[in-house]
């Protein structure tokens, strides 16, 4: 579904990604972990071309993406993204937030977009908030709207960039539950998170990044219980699991 | 008793002149309105040029803004009036309104540029991540938010325009200040006359401020 080969990314002189190879298969949930500065968020952003790589190839659903020549909007429309700070559109209601991209990008008729949007909002438990503006929502509700907004585009995969890091602790659960439901439905997901419990329970694979390279790629049981990698064990001790 | 005497002459001047001033006030409003429209259109165009990726467009916009901000409005009015009327015949009313509009465009461009660039990066990223292209992102996500943010400084700029419209008296437009000047020259009651005309400007500004506040509140309620 998503394949990254030899991805390099530098910001000025700072090389953040130093050659990353990774493949995500359809229906798989991959959790990316690592200390801050390890490059995990940057890598995730490269998968959606919000950052352009300096070197390497990214293939989405069998199609090698040429960053310079291809219409990146078309590629992005197929891979959804959920951000740490939600980035809901404050001048639009919840419903309008969810309807916007299907209407503008997919040219879906307004009435159909509305029906679909309401359906998806129901799925994330926010039917009653359809006509509310985002500033009236809690953090957890905002993030669920952001997920609904991404889902409305019927993406082939979803990327999550620390979706619960900006939330009050008591609101984390409702967002993780929505993500878990999506995983159960077979959504292909790449998740950058510090929620180790989620990684343990939901991930098919856990990938550990350190200083811009992948140092471990294993199933959760191996990763959390039987890792032989020194760095991984240090990391796990640090995050207390 | 100088104070009651002042009131009396003030009242006299007011009663003798209000008809002329009402007409002049209308002209002031017209010039301001035209200047605001021209200024806003130019402001949008030059703000877009400044945030564009084209070096040429950026340079043109910078040149315009630097020239306008670097020279007095009164010089610009004279320059445009005598510069343009040497090529085409233009009423002094229109020369003044256009000069005021072109002048405002530079300041309004900076207001729009600032409000566009002030929109959080995450808004653009979220829109792009949904598959919207650059122009859709600007049109649907960035501009509506930037416009909201631009309203208070724009209102301020419009008030400045209203007051600056007095400067077109130098090319003989019979707006408020031009009329006041002539009245004062004929009745020799300069103090009272300029007090009266000052009052007219103040009333216009207060009315506009109230309208602006009402509109801002309405926007807040909508959100």
Nearest to B148 among A74, A77, A91 (CB): A91
Question: In chain A, what residues touch B131 (CB-CB under 8 Å)?
Answer: 73-74, 76-78, 101, 105, 153
Q: How confident is the model at residue B87 (pLDDT cuts 50, 70, 90)?
A: confident
| pLDDT over threshold 90, residue A220 | yes
Average pLDDT over residues B129-154: 94
pLDDT digits (tens, 9 = 90+) for A200-211: 999 999 999 999
| pLDDT over threshold 70, residue A182 | yes
Cα distances from B78 to residues A7, A190, B133, in angstroms, run: 61, 65, 45
User: Do A145 and A126 form a contact (C-beta atoms < 8 A)?
Assistant: yes
pLDDT of residue B222: 53
| pLDDT over threshold 60, residue B223 | no
pLDDT cut 90: percent of chain A above it:
90
What chain B residue is nearest to A107 in terms of C-alpha separation? B132
pLDDT of residue B1: 52
User: Do A56 and A5 form a contact (C-beta atoms < 8 A)?
Assistant: yes
pLDDT of residue A68: 86
pLDDT of residue B2: 57
Identify which of A158, A139, A138 has the alpha carbon closest to the alpha carbon of residue A148. A158
Question: In chain A, what residues touch B128 (CB-CB under 8 Å)?
Answer: 50, 72-73, 76
Name the packing angle between helices B2-51 and B190-222 (round to 10°): 50
| pLDDT over threshold 90, residue A148 | yes
Side-chain half-sphere CA neighbours of A154 within 13 A: 8
Question: In chain A, what residues touch B130 (CB-CB under 8 Å)?
Answer: 76-77, 80, 100-101, 105, 149-150, 153
Q: Is the dihedral of CA B113, B114, B117, B122 positive or negative?
A: negative
Q: How confident is the model at residue A147 (pLDDT cuts 50, 70, 90)?
A: very high
Identify which of A169, A201, A216, A235 has the alpha carbon closest to the alpha carbon of residue A36. A235
Within a 10 A sphere around the Cβ of A161, how many other Cβ atoms? 24
Average pLDDT over residues B209-220: 88
| pLDDT over threshold 90, residue B140 | yes
Q: Is the pTM of this model over 0.90?
A: no
Average pLDDT over residues A191-195: 94
| pLDDT over threshold 70, residue B139 | yes
In angstroms, rounded to a whole number, what is the distance separating the alpha carbons of residues A215 and B183?
86
Average pLDDT over residues B181-200: 89
Average pLDDT over residues A200-229: 94
| pLDDT over threshold 90, residue A82 | yes
Identify which of A50, A43, A104, A41 has the alpha carbon closest to the alpha carbon of residue A76. A50
CA distance A199 to chain B (A): 24
**Any residues with CB less than 8 A from the CB of B64 and at least 6 apart, and which?**
B46, B105, B106, B109
A76–B contact, CB cutoff 8 A: yes
Q: What is the 3-state secondary structure (H, E, C) of A119-132?
A: HHHHHCCCHHHCCC
pLDDT of residue B19: 84
CB contact under 8 A, A74 and B223: no
Q: Strand ranges (DSSP E) for chain A?
A: 2-11, 14-24, 29-33, 55-60, 63-64, 79-82, 157-161, 188-192, 205-210, 213-218
pLDDT digits (tens, 9 = 90+) for B19-30: 889 899 999 999
Average pLDDT over residues A139-149: 97
Average pLDDT over residues A137-158: 97
SS3 A17: strand
Higher pLDDT: A239 or B208? It is B208
In angstroms, rounded to a whole number, what is the distance separating the alpha carbons of residues A132 and A142?
11
**Within the 163-222 window of chain A, which residues sit less than 8 Å (CB to CB) from chain B?**
none
| pLDDT over threshold 80, residue B183 | yes
Q: How far apart are the first and last CA of chain A?
A: 31
In angstroms, rounded to a whole number, what is the distance separating the alpha carbons of residues A154 and A123?
14
pLDDT of residue A32: 96
Q: How far apart are the first and last CA of chain B?
A: 57
| pLDDT over threshold 70, residue A138 | yes
Q: How confident is the model at residue A84 (pLDDT cuts 50, 70, 90)?
A: very high
């Amino acid at each position: 579904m998503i394949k990254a080969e030899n991805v390099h990314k530098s910001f000025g002189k700072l090389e953040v990604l130093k050659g990353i190879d990774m493949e995500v298969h359809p229906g798989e949930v991959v959790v990316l972990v690592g200390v801050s500065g390890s490059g995990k968020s940057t890598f995730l952003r490269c998968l959606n071309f919000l950052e352009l790589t300096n070197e390497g190839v990214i293939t989405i659903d069998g199609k090698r993406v040429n960053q310079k020549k291809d219409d990146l909007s078309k590629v992005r429309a197929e891979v959804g993204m959920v951000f740490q700070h939600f980035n809901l559109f404050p001048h639009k209601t919840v419903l309008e937030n969810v309807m916007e991209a299907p209407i503008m990008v997919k040219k879906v008729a307004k009435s159909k977009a509305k029906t679909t949007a309401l359906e998806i909002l129901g799925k994330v438990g926010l039917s009653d908030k359809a006509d509310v503006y985002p500033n009236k929502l809690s953090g957890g509700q905002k993030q669920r709207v952001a997920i609904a907004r991404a889902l409305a585009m019927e993406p082939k995969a979803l990327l999550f960039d620390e979706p619960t890091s900006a939330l009050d602790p008591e609101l984390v659960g409702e967002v993780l539950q929505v993500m878990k439901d999506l995983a159960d439905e077979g959504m292909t997901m790449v998740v950058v998170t510090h929620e180790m419990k989620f990684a343990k329970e939901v991930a098919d694979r856990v990938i550990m990044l350190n200083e811009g390279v992948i140092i471990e790629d294993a199933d959760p049981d191996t990763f959390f219980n039987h890792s032989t990698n020194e760095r991984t064990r240090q990391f796990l001790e640090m995050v207390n699991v | 008793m100088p104070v009651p005497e002042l009131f009396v002459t003030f009242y006299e001047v007011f009663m003798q002149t209000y008809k002329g001033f009402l007409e002049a006030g209308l002209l002031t409003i017209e010039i301001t309105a035209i200047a605001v429209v021209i200024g806003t259109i130019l402001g949008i165009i030059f703000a877009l040029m400044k945030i564009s990726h084209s070096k040429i467009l950026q340079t043109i916009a910078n040149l315009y803004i630097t020239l306008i901000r670097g020279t007095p409005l009164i010089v610009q009015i004279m320059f445009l009036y005598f510069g343009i009327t040497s090529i085409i015949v233009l009423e002094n009313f229109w020369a003044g309104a256009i000069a005021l509009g072109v002048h405002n465009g530079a300041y309004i461009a900076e207001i729009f540029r600032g409000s566009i660039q002030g929109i959080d990066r995450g808004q653009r990223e979220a829109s792009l991540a949904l598959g919207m292209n650059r122009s859709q992102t600007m049109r649907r996500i960035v501009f509506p938010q930037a416009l909201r943010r631009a309203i208070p400084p724009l209102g301020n700029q419009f008030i400045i325009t209203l007051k600056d419209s007095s400067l077109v008296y130098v090319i003989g437009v019979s707006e408020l200040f031009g009329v006041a000047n002539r009245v004062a020259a004929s009745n020799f009651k300069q103090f009272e006359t300029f007090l009266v005309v000052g009052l007219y400007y103040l009333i216009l500004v207060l009315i506009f401020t109230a309208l602006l506040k009402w509109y801002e509140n309405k926007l807040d309620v909508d959100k």
